[in-house]
Each structure stands twice: as C-alpha cells, then as structure tokens.
Amino acid sequence: MEVTVRTATAALLVSHNGLQVYLRAVGPKAQHSVGHVGAQYVIWTADSRDDFVRCERVLRARSDRVDTREAEGFTLIEGRDPSGLPVLVAYPGPDEVARLEIISRYYV
C-alpha cells in the first residue's frame, strides 16, 4: 500500500487495486470512542447513485442519528447499526474520485 494523504495524526494508504485503509495515531492513554482497540469505522462504497440513495433511506429508517457530508468530489453518509456502531457509505468510490483529504471527523 502507498501513503497518499498524510496529516500529523492520520494517513490514508491505498493499494494498487483501490483498497483504502485510514490509520490514525492516538496517545497511549487516549479513550477509544467505541470502547475498544481495533477497527473503529468500516466504510462501504455504493455501486451507483441509486444504490447510495437506497443505503441512505435504509440508514434513516433504522437510525435517528444519520449525517450526510460532502467532501472532495464524493458524498459520505454515516448512520448506526442496531448496536449503535457507525455504518458509513460513500459514493462515488475511490476508483472514480481519488481521496485527497482525510475527513477530520474520523481522526479528531
């Protein structure tokens, strides 16, 4: 994987086939917002605009905590699963729009 974006506390790594991993640094005594060490967010890419709208509709039907935000050429929606853990869906995918920034919500 290659580092494509780096900040003082986070990095975006991208593989040759478009797989992305966001890494962030936290202090040794930092609280983990979901209560444990490990994956904090998993982000899916919708197959099409219609698929993204369907995902948004499903998230809004199941969660009162849904947020949609625009970034550098893509849209991201965040809802919650039945356990209250974050569910994120992006459109279009990184194969169509390169990620040029790390959204601060995910590393602040």
Model pTM? 0.64
Q: Looking at residue 54, what is its pLDDT?
A: 93
Q: Looking at residue 50, what is its pLDDT?
A: 95
Q: When comparing pLDDT for 101 and 43, which is higher?
A: 43
Q: When comparing pLDDT for 105 and 11, which is higher?
A: 11
Instruction: Tell me what percent of the residues of the chain surpass a pLDDT of 90.
Output: 9
- Ordered by start, the domain boundaries in the chain are 35-106
Q: What are the DSSP calls for the chain, one per residue?
A: -EEEEE-SSEEEEE-TT--EEEEE---TTPPPTTSSSS----EEE-SSHHHHHHHHHHHHHH-S--EEEE-SS-EEEEEE-TTS-EEEEEES-TTTS---S--GGGT-
* pLDDT band, very low/low/confident/very high, at 86 (cuts 50, 70, 90): confident
pLDDT per position as a tens digit, 8-20: 878 888 878 777 7
Report the length, in residues, of the chain: 108
User: Looking at domain 35-106, what is its CATH homologous superfamily?
Assistant: 2,3-Dihydroxybiphenyl 1,2-Dioxygenase, domain 1 (3.10.180.10)
pLDDT per position as a tens digit, 26-78: 666 655 555 556 666 667 888 899 999 999 999 899 888 899 888 878 888 98
Q: Looking at residue 108, what is its pLDDT?
A: 44
Contact between 55 and 47 under an 8 Å Cβ cutoff? The reply is no
